[in-house]
Amino acid sequence: MVASELITNALRHGDISGGAIEVRAFLDVTGGAVLEVLDSSDRPPLILGEDPTTEGGRGLFLVRLTTRELGWRPLRGGGKSVWCVLNAERDPAAV
Ligand SMILES: Nc1ncnc2c1ncn2[C@@H]1O[C@H](COP(=O)(O)OP(=O)(O)OP(=O)(O)O)[C@@H](O)[C@H]1O
Ligand SMILES: [Mg+2]
């Protein structure tokens, strides 16, 4: 769900004139599972309110509710990254 929301936002609201969006998934230095989606627009994402009368504007609100952290950063040379840290725990007993 989180990947779908961030990717859909990049395609719908971001600037894809750069030719493509980029999706990254990695573990940060603390072991947090990070998902980030890059697009070519400098416009920041907005977490809209909980207005029950509107149909849209729920995506990032839901991402914020279901992840450990949600943020964005401008990219050197233009564009931005919207990223979140998933609520995934690494099982130390897992192979
Ligand atoms: N990658 C992005 N680039 C630029 N603006 C963005 C981006 N992602 C989100 N936004 C802005 O933040 C707003 C809120 O995003 P959100 O995903 O919560 O709602 P939505 O995409 O408008 O509707 P929904 O996700 O419910 O279909 C968007 O309407 C848009 O203005
Ligand atoms: Mg959305």
- pLDDT tens, position by position, 18-65: 678 999 999 998 889 999 999 999 999 998 867 778 888 899 999 999
Q: How far is CA 87 from the centre of its chain?
A: 14
**Judging by DSSP bridges, how do beta strands 22-27 and 69-74 pair with one another?**
unpaired
38 or 88: whose pLDDT is higher?
38
Confidence at residue 30, expressed as pLDDT on a 0 to 100 scale: 85
Judge if the beta carbon of residue 46 lies within 6 A of ligand 1: yes
Q: How confident is the model at residue 90 (pLDDT cuts 50, 70, 90)?
A: low
22 close to ligand 1 (CB < 6 Angstrom): no
For ligand 2, a single-atom ion, the residues with CB < 5 A are 9, 59
Q: Which ligand is nearest to the CA of 60?
A: 1
From 31, 33, 34, 35, select the one nearest 21 (Cα to Cα): 35
